[in-house]
Amino acid sequence: MRSLVHVAPDSGRVESLSEAVVAGGARLASAEEASALVWADPARASEVAAYVERMPHLGWVALPFAGIEPYLPAVRGRTDLVWTCARDVYSRPVAEHAIGLAVAGLRNTVGYARTDSWSAQVGTMLVDGRITIFGGGGIAREIISLLQGWRCDITIVKRTASNVPGATRVVEQSEALDAVRDADAVILALPLTEETRHIANAQLFDAMPPHCWLVNVARGGVVDHQALTEALRSGVIGGAALDVTEPEPLPSNHPLWGISNAVITPHVGNTPEMGIPLLAAFIERNVASWVSGSEPEGQIDPIAGY
């Protein structure tokens, strides 16, 4: 039965993911026959719970994103199943985007792009800079890897202060305020949980230096957007670059759109063109593990929520 896998629902990803299933050594099967479900459409997360009930032989569900907030009700409703997410799959492109946003902010590329005449010379280098990253997972590790050679002093803030290779230091979330006091850039790359919601709040912004830029490539809910708006307007921090917002898309009348030192990109740290080949390769590896009787990568902890 482990060799029978179903890919659904219909979306632009189905063909690539179906090819990955076959390359991994499984056969494509109907929902009624299959022991595994590869979910192909992130936009239809609300349908997963009902869909799995159609599959009497189901043992494993592979979700297409690293962030699983929309899927949590389904995951927690069927803890008898193995659930996996695309953890670490998109880390490299998201890390690249985070660094690009940080450089654009610190070097005032954003400010120059919004003027219509020659302006004063301002900017801070990221080379030899102090970077604080919230999160110690795949994106954080890729950021550290990409910054090798830039001689950055890197502080990691995470739930437990376990070792992260390449980081100068690792501290727990209770030390977050101290961790940002000397930072040139603060990058958010952590899961959204009850514990991390609005971890970037007024207190944190007050602790950051006035030139420091906030970069969010995590989830919109880790930032208190009202407090951020006030911090940007009052000059408490240098600026903010957000690839994710809450809500998403950010409404066109939201005050952040009108702030000159706020940059908002439409969740493009990982685009379909970048992400689908990476996801397909990951699914192929995981299907091969499932067929052989091994544990697939990226298993979700229903209690922790990631």
- 297 falls within a domain: no
Are 122 and 159 members of one domain? yes
Residue 305 lies in a domain: no
Asked whether residue 166 is domain-assigned, the answer is yes
Residues 199 and 247 in one domain: yes
- Give, for all 306 residues of the chain, the pLDDT tens digit: 789 999 999 888 899 999 999 999 999 999 999 999 999 998 899 999 999 999 999 999 999 998 899 999 999 999 999 999 999 999 999 999 999 999 999 999 989 999 999 999 999 999 999 999 999 999 999 999 999 999 999 999 999 999 999 999 999 999 999 999 999 999 999 999 999 999 999 999 999 999 999 999 999 999 999 999 999 999 999 999 999 999 999 999 999 999 999 999 999 999 999 999 999 999 999 999 999 999 999 999 998 888
pTM (two decimals)? 0.91
Tell whether 100 is covered by a domain. Answer: yes
> Are 67 and 139 in a shared domain?
no
Give domain status of residue 306, yes or no. no
What do you get for the CA distance between the two ends of the chain, in Å? 27
Q: Are residues 58 and 183 in the same domain?
A: no
Q: For residue 276, give the CATH number of its domain.
A: 3.40.50.720
**Shared domain check, 252 and 105:** yes
Q: Under a CB-based contact definition with an 8 Å cutoff, are residues 299 and 59 in contact?
A: no
**CA–CA separation, 173 and 157 (whole Å):** 6
| Domain extent at residue 136 | 91-264
Of 228, 245, 264, which residue sits at a domain end?
264
- What is the number of structural domains in the chain? 2
Residue 206 shares a structural domain with residue 73 = no
Contact indicator for 99, 185 with CB cutoff of 8 Å:
no
- SS3 for 97? helix
55 and 116 both lie in a single domain: no
Asked if 131 and 83 sit in the same domain, the reply is no
300: tokens are 């979700």
Whether 302 is in a domain gets the answer no
- Report d(CA 246, CA 270) in Å as an integer: 18
Q: Is there a domain that residue 47 lies in? A: yes
Examine the domain organization and report whether 138 and 258 are in the same domain.
yes
Active site residues: 219, 267
What does the DSSP 8-state code read for residue 286? Answer: H
Do 244 and 98 share a domain, yes or no? yes
Residue 304 lies in a domain: no
Q: Identify whether residues 130 and 199 lie together within a single domain.
A: yes
Closest CA relative to residue 99, chosen from 183, 189, 187 = 187
* Shared domain check, 72 and 145: no
Q: Which two tokens stand for residue 40?
A: 């192909």
